[in-house]
Structure 1
Amino acid sequence: MGTPYPNPITPSLTRIGWIGIGVMGAAMAARLLSAGYSLTVYARSPSKTLSLQAQGARLASSPHELAQRSDVVFTMVGHPSDVREVVLGSDGLLSGLNPNSVIVDTTSSHPQLARNVFEAAREKGCWAVDAPVSGGDIGARDGKLAIFAGGDGGVVKWLTPLFEILGRATYVGEAGCGQSCKIANQIIVGANLLGLSEGLVFAERAGLDVKQLLEAVRGGAAGSMAMELWGDRVIGRDFRPGGFAEYMVKDLGMGVDVVEEGEDESVVVLPGAGLCKQLFSGMVANGDGKLGGQGLITVIERINGK
């Protein structure tokens, strides 16, 4: 079992680093600041950190410098390539981390990269946990994210005080398992968003009141967290992102591409995930990749001539 430090995590003892100040990352980092933790932040565009600095965060000039100032570093960046650069690059986190420090990657990334980061961290006498999240901007703001944690079980348990500020963490297995869990989560989310979009388009074409439709079905088998999070937003044409549609293409691709590569004969065929990936790719092709995933309805509307 991992024992990063003999001391428990507390605001007075534990220094937190944060990289990735997007919609999700900024809200998550702000919750740690509000809980009394000292926070050092890094962003390629320092202006993105001004709000956090106003709340007491300090700014580092590089991932290397941030690592030197931190006991636990969270990353919430866009793509696996960003994770690789921020963590494993020549000026990355592993070049500056002190022994027994912990990297917690909350980015939706590739399981094999998570395993590579874990192994590289252990070679440096540090730890790495892959802990992608689900719940969108609302979950990040309210501290109600679902967190899928992979890595050493003892390290994940030690991180509990931080995870509890952000949401509810579930330990799902060794390094890489957190990312695999997130891919499965996105397959389910994509299918739910597609069903919600098609149901609303059908209902409107049939002359139904779509708000009444949601009230009618949300307590039955069609009800879902996707409906609760995004149903009213879709009806109100509120496509502001909790997560970008282009990230759904990335996340679903990491599931579908495993099948396409044929690396493991035990993997299952994912026709639904493949279709959802194509439809979200349609959003990107339409110039809507920076909208929230709930904007998928725009693709279904276009197919239907609206």
Structure 2
Amino acid sequence: MSAALPSIGFIGTGIMGGHMARRLSEAGFRLRAWNRTAEKAEALANHGIEIAASASAAAAGVEVVICMLSSGPVCDAVLGGRDGVIAAMRTGATLVVMSSIPVETARAQADACARRGLGYLDAPVSGGERGARDGTLAIMAGGEAGTVEELAPLFAPLGRTTHVGPAGSGQLAKLANQLIVASNICAVAEALLLAERGGADPARVREALLGGFADSTVLRQHGERMVRGDFTPGGPAKYQVKDTSTALRLARSLGLSLPIADAVDRLFQNLVDHGGADMDHSAVLVELRRANRSAETALDA
């Protein structure tokens, strides 16, 4: 890789990826971007980013390809195959998958890259749309330590990077993150619903809890969303349940029982099943209200 800032192909410019691509361009990197919904990528032309006609065109000839797609199957469909991104990348380039995907998918991608003489990192992120916009993401990197160090200038405009182990370890860290976040969101939603039903002002209860042991980023950001009733997606519920379900499948394969994660996964799945797939994951409060109304109706019947 050259001593100058590496050229980047950016695959996936949605809610978070668009902000990340913009920040990299503003930091001086030369980018070529592609998105399945073309309009989302085209808006980045105003930030000096070249728009590619296909994912493989975005990947051709650049030194680093960043993938920020929605799921493991989507990543595999875009990255793999004779006409995919990995096949289009030049020898010696590095693929950085910042999507949240299954651990085994990341390891298989790393093997595929190694066979073609490509570097590979799985480097999923946490921090939501706000973190992507402000460059405060937590980046959990799996792969060779030297590759993480080499790409430090690339990660710097996006957030704080921690190397957590070999390929697949970034996804393990992200699954741990998602279990904590999802559980915390559900706990905050239950607490605010309890306050609301008991006759207190949920907004004032949330304010009272700030700074105490119950304080958290979730209480501050998602608790605020809940009291305002603003569920415009920063992190859509359908992606939250994707991650909790992935974590539970991995846990079962390791012989683990995670009862809290099971309950949280069911709650988010119910939110998705009742029309909340594209709402922010803080809308789990809406599902709790719905479930309690249903229970009350059944008792009154």
Please say whether Structure 1 and Structure 2 have the same fold, judged by a TM-score greater than 0.5.
yes
Instruction: Tell whether 2:129 aligns with 1:98.
Output: no
Q: Any idea what SS the aligned residue of 2:89 has?
A: coil
- Unaligned ranges ≥5, structure 1: none
Q: How does 1:230-245 map to 2 (within 5 A)?
A: 230-245=222-237
Letter in 1 for 2:3: P
- Aligned AA for 2:59? A
- What is the Cα deviation at residue 259 of structure 1? 3.2
Q: Secondary structure at the residue paired with 1:223?
A: coil
Measure, in 1, the Cα distance between the counterparts of 2:152 and 2:3. Answer: 10
Q: How does 1:1-306 map to 2 (within 5 A)?
A: 5=1, 7-8=2-3, 10=5, 14-260=6-252, 263-265=253-255, 268-305=256-293
Contact 2:139-2:160 within 8 A present in 1 as well? yes
Does the 8 A contact of 1:18 with 1:74 survive in 2? Answer: yes
Are 1:62 and 1:91, in contact at CA under 8 Å, matched by a contact in 2? no
Moved more, 38-47 or 110-119: 38-47
- Shift of the 9–223 alpha-carbon distance from structure 1 to 2, 3 Å rule, reads farther
SS at match of 1:73: strand
CA contact (8 A) 2:140 2:163 kept: yes
State the percentage of identical aligned residues. Answer: 37
Q: For residues 186 and 288 of structure 1, what CA distance do their matches in structure 2 show? A: 18
d(CA) in 1 for partners of 2:231, 2:263: 21
Task: Determine helix, strand or coil for the equivalent of 1:78.
Answer: coil
**Is the 8 Å Cα contact of residues 42 and 66 (structure 1) preserved in structure 2?**
yes
Give secondary structure in 2 for the equivalent of 1:170.
Answer: strand
Q: Are the counterparts in 2 of residues 130 and 179 from structure 1 also a CA contact under 8 Å?
A: yes
Shift of 1:258: 2.0
SS in 2 for 1:8: coil
- Alpha-carbon distance in 2 for matches of 1:228, 1:70: 40
- Alpha-carbon separation, structure 1, partners of 2:40 and 2:198: 45
Deviation at 1:19, TM superposition (A): 0.8
Corresponding residue pairs, total: 294
List structure 1 segments (4+ residues) > 3 angstroms apart after TM superposition: none
After superposition, the Cα gap between the structure-2 partners of 1:285 and 1:9, relative to the gap in structure 1 and judged at 3 Å, is farther
Q: What is the deviation of 1:231?
A: 1.4
SS at match of 2:156: helix
Matched position secondary structure for 1:165 = coil
CA contact (8 A) 1:8 1:158 kept: no
Deviation at 1:9, TM superposition (A): 5.1
The residue matched to 2:208 in structure 1 has which SS? helix
Q: Report Cα offsets for 1:228-270 as digits up to 9, x if no partner.
A: 221111110111111110111110011111233xx334xx311
Counterparts of 2:9 and 2:131, CA distance in 1:
21
The two structures, once aligned, show a CA RMSD in angstroms of: 1.3
Give the Cα–Cα distance (whole angstroms) in 1 for the partners of residues 4 and 198 of structure 2.
56
CA distance in 2, matches of 1:28, 1:54: 14
Shift, 1:199, TM fit: 0.4
Question: Does the 8 Å contact 1:9/1:159 carry over to 2?
Answer: no
